[in-house]
Structure 1
Amino acid sequence: MTTTVTTAAVSKNFGAYQDAAVRDPVIITKNGRPHTVLLAYEDFVRLLKRDRRVELTAELGADEVAAVEASEMEPESIPS
């Protein structure tokens, strides 16, 4: 269960909220709105692994463009 607390509450009792964040993320509000999230390091690492980067095709080199053009999808990956 996610906990929501104010920045003032976190500053007064950071250790307790740090321990709570190991179990579930803690949403920290500022001026009544969600502002930041305190979460376990393992959760952060898991989210980083899911992060995807976007690059412009104009920034690709000729070799990279050729590799993309030569690539083929696996038949089982093509929707029917």
Structure 2
Amino acid sequence: MFGGYAAMAACTMLLARVLPGEALDRTLWSTILSFGIYAALVVWTFAARSALRAGLVTLAVGVVAGLGAAWAA
């Protein structure tokens, strides 16, 4: 649960930095899109073959999004 939250926070930061438009619009759209990404990740987690794989994918999403957000800053 906490890993998914951290991954989506990183996705929100990344999207807020790379989406075009005004700052307020980017923030709102990144939050909305992150809810969709989080829902897809939750559905995929229940379909994963093991808890380890689900955790590793969640970690990978968070790390990639975090590095992308840091790079885009």
Normalization by structure 2: what TM-score?
A: 0.26
Task: Identify the structure with bigger relative contact order (alpha carbons < 8 Å, sequence gap 6+).
Answer: 2
Q: Which structure has the highest strand share of the two?
A: 1
Higher CA-based Rg? 1
Q: Which structure has the highest helix share of the two?
A: 2
